[in-house]
A = this chain, B = another copy of it.
Amino acid sequence: MSRPKNLPADERRSVTVESVVALAGLQNPSEITTAAIAKHMNLTQGALFRHFPNKEAIWQAVMEWVAERLLARIDSAAKGIESPLAAMEAMFMSHVGFVSEHPGVPRMMFGELQRAESTPAKRMVQTLIQRYGERLQLLIEKGKACGELAASLDNDAAATLFIGTIQGLVMQSMLAGDIARIRRDAPRVFAIYQRGIRREL
């Protein structure tokens, strides 16, 4: 086994994060060991702890990576679209795109939320979803104002269902063991959601 290049610390940390994201796409995130992470990046297990004080810190870094990328992605997708409903659709599709590129992501998020204790990673997921919700609420309000969305719409319920819809797609793809399925099903499922929130024609 050849010795890996000595990467600078911050680069090694980002390689670690990407390894965890990749592994989470292949197996139950809660069963990812530090040994498995190290193996995936051609490193010894102990070397990981040169860059992270403990395993919990690895998960925290991973969730920071996720939060940053996902929010940036949905923001850029919605940017410049004047119709709120179209913006929501763009957000939905870009989120689905992100998830189908990184199928481990929703599984990690769900796994973190399941923890009883409040770990740094869990708190990061909570603020991510909170920020996500804020963006949705904003769009929903705008949609009501311009008459695209039903004035009687329940904002909180609509936001909950938006995220739940993606969660349902993930679940269905895990059931079928087929990630690519998400992309195919997403437009069909969003069509129903859209019908549920828009103003009657």
Contacts and interface: CB of A to CB of B under 8 A. Distances in A.
Contacts of A194: 196
A160 interface: yes
B168 A189 contact: no
A164 B160 contact: no
Contacts of A60: none
Interface in A11-59: 26-31
A189 B167 contact: no
Given A154-B188, A161-B192, A111 B28 contact: yes
Contacts of A82: none
A165 B168 contact: yes
A116 interface: yes
A168 to B, nearest CB: 1
Interface string A157-196: 1101101111111011011000000000100110111111
A36 to B, nearest CB: 12
| Copies in the assembly, this chain | 2
SS of A interface (majority): helix
A31 B192 CA distance: 37
A68 B151 CA distance: 41
A153 interface: yes
A188 B129 CA distance: 20
Contacts of A197: 192, 195-196
B189 A114 contact: no
Contacts of A31: 30
Contacts of A113: 171, 174-175
12 contacts: A28-B115, A157-B191, A160-B185, A161-B165, A161-B168, A163-B172, A164-B164, A164-B167, A164-B171, A164-B172, A168-B168, A193-B196
B161 A171 contact: no
Nearest to A129: B175
Contacts of A10: none
